[in-house]
Amino acid sequence: MGDDRPGRARTESVGMLFGIGAYGLWGLFPLYWKRLSSVPSLQILMHRIAWAFALTFVLALLLGKRRLMAELLRERKRLAATIAAGFLVSLNWGIYIWAVNAGHIVETSIGYFLNPLVSVALGSFVFKEKIDRGIKAACAIAAVGIAVLTVSYGKLPWIALSLAATFSLYGLIKKLTNLDGLTGLAMETAPVMPFALGYLILEELAGRGAFGRSGGIETSMLVLAGAVTALPLFFFAEGVKRVPLSRMGFLQYISPTLQLALGLFVFGETLSATKAAAFAFIMAALVVFAATRPRCTASGESA
């Protein structure tokens, strides 16, 4: 038998490029949503939901996913999980878009740095997954970082915590649906799409709608929000087919790192001493977490 190691190496290299592309695009999302800052955040969210559904539903039909969608509709538990996932990811998107345009990009990055640890905690609570000493230590160190932020703000850092919680719950629920990225996004946005479409129609009728009124670039970007949402999901799905999850798991930190850099160096947000200290604890927690994992799992889709 021939040596297939060069073939595997090429496959993994392509997969790594897809993974870097996915997490890189997610990390650059603040540039896109910030360009739409003249549009109310709720309208941006509703456009994102509506156009993401339209694009992924049509693509799913064209790519022969009709049977998978029909099967889902017949299975009550999976359907309920998909509906819950749709509302959770919509909430996550809404918080993220608002936070970016309100000048809280640094705090959004904290939320996505925290995401793996929150996912582990949920996995332990819901699926009774084993919590070893490394995980306990990582969670304890991260908790100190959150405590530092809480003392600094005088309140809980709700943006970071809500982003981490909603996305971790979303990932948890997606385990029950077992759908590919394209079909999953189509079916998850389906239950919230009527609300999005209804809201957008009411805003247009009231003369408050941004579509067609806020300029050609903004209108085009609202339409393209569906493609912008779907493309990194496609890259992620292609990457995870070719690369072990242990390797994809480490790529997930590209996204919040880019968000942090954009917040600090492009949009002029500040990193106070207390925020820097909190970041140090959270990064130390992630180092402990990664160093004690025999295998690290990828967190999946992002903002």
Could you tell me the pLDDT band of residue 138, with boundaries at 50, 70 and 90? confident
Q: Could you count the other beta carbons within 10 Å of the beta carbon of residue 165? A: 20
What are phi and psi for residue 36, nearest 5 degrees? Answer: -100, 20
Q: What is the pLDDT of residue 302?
A: 60
Q: What mean pLDDT do residues 29-42 have?
A: 95
Q: Is 236:19 a contact under the CB 8 Å cutoff?
A: yes
* Structural domain boundaries in the chain: 14-291
Position 2 pLDDT exceeds 70: no
Position 260 pLDDT exceeds 50: yes
Could you tell me the pLDDT band of residue 183, with boundaries at 50, 70 and 90? confident
* Nearest Cα residue to 101 out of 22, 2, 53, 29: 29
37-80, pLDDT tens digit by residue?
999 999 999 999 999 999 999 999 998 989 989 998 999 888 99
Q: What is the pLDDT of residue 10?
A: 78
Could you tell me the pLDDT band of residue 296, with boundaries at 50, 70 and 90? very low
Q: What is the pLDDT of residue 248?
A: 64
DSSP one-letter code for 76: H
Could you tell me the pLDDT band of residue 176, with boundaries at 50, 70 and 90? confident
Highest mean pLDDT among 45-54, 70-79, 240-249, 272-281: 45-54
Tell me, rounded to whole angstroms, the distance of Cα 48 from its chain centroid: 14
Mean model confidence pLDDT for the chain: 85
Sign of CA dihedral 105, 106, 107, 112: positive
Model confidence, pTM: 0.85
For the chain, give the percent of residues with pLDDT over 90: 39
> Which residues are CB-contacts of 97 (< 8 A; sequence separation ≥ 6)?
33, 41, 44, 45, 48
